[in-house]
């Protein structure tokens, strides 16, 4: 990140309105979940709750017969409407249709929808239009931006409901690997289609690092180096961040926090959802091997059963994070055949060995970029839902040779709160204390 950007932090006594009364949101646009923090003049930061009073919303949308369904409702409807349920959007957002990653996703059943290349060669979603006015039903393409804009619009609507006022501005997190074009496209989705003005796009780990700097770092610390490890649904990102304090004023002795992002690295195709796929494969193979399925087609050829089993796999994964075994029961999964069995955590770990072998790779890459060794890292902070898998933390503990990995921030919400902090400064609507970020 070039230059020094002055960003703000709220003074400990809270937010003070010093200008126009504008509300804004910090949006963590994840591949699995959308989370947003609402900033209102004179009020404490608040997480935006969805219609089910949940603090995070599955980043998915279903175009039903008459309405759009979001979050958990979309997940529920995904079995019924597999071809018009759009999920894991961030991983394909703005990607070229023929990119290896996209084709791999199609093969690996992340995408059960029909996809095609739009006029730019970018991934677009095929939907069948109903055939208005008695015309023949036809096929239409939804652009990457259009589907993402539906989610952003939904978040905006929730925030406005909570604020009881309009919300016009936002900061959105993007993965550090997003290209220039992808950044432009997400801006377009927000600004041209969702009616939100984008103050800034920030990397997830940068947003978390700013939040961490606010009250988790000693006020006089110099060269305090922290490694942020963030395993989300579909990628793993690492940032090495150095916190110092500088005296930038000749008049006062007051120290200003100085945050340097020393290096970033990522593993684009390593996320917790990849573990869902491993579990899906175990379960699909077991289902196909049932006596009742002899001579019948592979479950994977059926979009509805595939969606249902993927949903079950995600659930089982969470059970296996807390228990060594899980009972699986999917009634009438396909052709009235029920899948019922007990699955061991050890079996999942064995089948996922290729994934686990890559858990520490972005750490090595980030250390190499920063020219640092692990001995020079003072703290490790874990973020994202993926770190709840016991094998992941076990591998990190071993590799990092630290007894305790830090979880000082709320690993689910640090990114949206951090972006809200960054956004509140950009508007100059709030009284803020200076922090320097490079």
Ligand X SMILES: Nc1ncnc2c1ncn2[C@@H]1O[C@H](COP(=O)(O)OP(=O)(O)OP(=O)(O)O)[C@@H](O)[C@H]1O
Of residues 37, 85, 113, 272, which one binds ligand X by CB under 6 A? 272
277: left (phi over 0), alpha (psi -120 to 50) or beta: alpha
Which 6-35 positions form the footprint of ligand X (CB under 6 A)?
A: 30-33
The one of ligand X, Mg ion, none whose footprint includes residue 31, by CB under 5 to 8 A per kind, is: ligand X
CA distances from 229 to 138, 241, 314, 431 (A): 46, 11, 22, 31
How far apart CA 49 and CA 156 sit, in angstroms, is 11
Q: What residues have CB less than 8 Å from 401, skipping those under 6 apart?
A: 374
Query: 321 is in the binding site of which of Mg ion, ligand X, none (Cβ under 5 to 8 A by kind)?
Result: ligand X
273 is a site residue for ligand X (CB under 6 A):
yes
Angle between helices 144-163 and 180-188 (to 10 degrees): 50
**Given 71, 385, 418, 423, the residue binding ligand X (CB under 6 A):** 385
Does 271 participate in binding ligand X (rule CB under 6 A)?
A: yes
Residue number with CB closer to Mg ion (333 or 359)? 359
* Torsion sign across C-alpha atoms 57, 58, 60, 63: negative
Pick from 218, 236, 235: which is nearest to 227 by CA?
236
For the chain, how long is the longest CA-to-CA vector? 83
The smaller minimum CB distance to ligand X, of residues 22 and 343, is found at 343
379 is a site residue for ligand X (CB under 6 A): no
Tokens at residue 226, please? 């922290």
Q: Quote the least distance from Cβ 204 to Mg ion, whole Å.
A: 5
Query: Which of residues 303 and 386 has its CB atom nearest to ligand X in the complex?
Result: 386
205 binds ligand X (CB under 6 A): no
Q: Choose among ligand X, Mg ion, none what residue 385 binds, the Cβ cut-off being 5 to 8 Å by kind.
A: ligand X
Record the tokens describing residue 283, joined without a space: 């379960």
Among 386, 419, 420, 425, binds ligand X (CB under 6 A): 386
Minimum Å gap between C-beta 363 and Mg ion is 17
Q: Is 257 in the site for ligand X (CB under 6 A)?
A: no
303 binds, among ligand X, Mg ion, none (CB under 5 to 8 A by kind): none
Query: At closest approach, how far in Å is the CB of 413 from Mg ion?
Result: 11
Taking alpha carbons only, the member of 185, 158, 163, 160 closest to residue 172 is 185
Tell me which H or E stretch contains 234.
none
Distances (CA, A) of 266 to 24, 99, 203, 230, 422: 29, 18, 12, 9, 23
Shortest reach from residue 128's CB to Mg ion, in Å: 32
Binding segment for ligand X (CB under 6 A), chosen from 121-129, 137-145, 265-273, 291-299, is 265-273
Where residue 332 falls (left for φ over 0; alpha for ψ -120 to 50; beta otherwise) is: left
Q: Which of 90, 205, 393, 419 binds ligand X (CB under 6 A)?
A: 90
- Give the binding range for ligand X (CB under 6 A) out of 1-9, 233-241, 326-334, 422-430: 233-241
Q: Measured between alpha carbons, how far is 79 from 261 in angstroms, rounded to an integer?
A: 42
Which residues are near ligand X by CB under 6 A? 30-33, 90, 204, 232-235, 271-273, 314, 317-318, 321, 384-386, 388-389, 412
């Amino acid at each position: 990140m070039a230059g020094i950007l002055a960003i703000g932090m709220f003074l400990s006594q809270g937010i003070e309105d010093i200008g126009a009364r504008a509300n804004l949101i910090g949006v963590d646009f994840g591949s699995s979940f959308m989370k947003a923090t609402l900033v209102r003049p004179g009020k404490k930061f608040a997480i935006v709750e969805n219609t089910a009073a949940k603090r995070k919303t599955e980043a998915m949308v279903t175009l039903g017969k008459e309405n759009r369904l979001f979050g958990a409702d979309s997940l529920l409807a995904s079995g019924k409407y597999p071809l018009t349920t759009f999920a894991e959007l961030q991983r394909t957002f703005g990607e070229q249709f023929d990119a290896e990653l996209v084709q791999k996703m199609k093969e690996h059943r992340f995408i059960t929808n029909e996809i095609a290349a739009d006029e730019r060669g970018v991934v677009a979603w095929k939907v069948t239009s109903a055939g208005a006015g008695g015309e023949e039903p036809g096929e239409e393409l939804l652009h990457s931006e259009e589907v993402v804009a539906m989610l952003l619009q939904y978040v905006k609507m929730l925030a406005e409901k909570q604020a009881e006022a309009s919300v016009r501005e936002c900061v959105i997190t993007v993965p550090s690997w997003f290209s220039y074009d992808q950044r432009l496209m997400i801006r377009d989705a927000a600004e041209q289609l969702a009616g939100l003005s984008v103050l800034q796009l920030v990397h997830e780990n940068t947003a978390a690092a700013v939040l961490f700097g606010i009250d988790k770092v000693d006020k006089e610390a110099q060269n305090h180096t922290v490694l942020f490890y963030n395993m989300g649904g579909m990628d793993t990102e690492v940032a090495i961040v150095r916190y110092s304090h500088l005296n930038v004023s000749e008049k006062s002795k007051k120290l200003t926090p100085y945050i340097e992002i020393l290096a970033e690295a990522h593993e684009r195709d390593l996320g917790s959802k990849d573990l869902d796929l491993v579990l899906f494969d175990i379960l699909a193979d077991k289902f196909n091997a049932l006596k009742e399925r002899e001579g019948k087609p592979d479950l994977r050829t059926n979009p509805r059963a595939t969606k249902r089993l993927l949903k079950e796999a995600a659930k089982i994964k969470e059970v296996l994070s807390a228990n060594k075994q899980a009972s699986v029961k999917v009634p009438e999964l396909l052709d009235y055949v029920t899948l019922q069995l007990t699955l061991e955590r050890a079996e999942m770990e064995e089948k996922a060995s290729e994934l686990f072998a890559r858990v520490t790779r972005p750490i090595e890459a980030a250390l190499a970029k920063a020219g640092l060794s692990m001995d020079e890292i003072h703290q490790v902070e874990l973020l994202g839902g993926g770190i709840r898998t016991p094998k992941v933390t076990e591998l990190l503990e071993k590799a990092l040779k630290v007894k305790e990995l830090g979880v000082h921030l709320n690993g689910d919400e640090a990114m949206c709160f951090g972006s809200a902090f960054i956004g509140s400064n950009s508007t100059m609507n709030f009284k803020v204390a200076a922090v320097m970020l490079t």
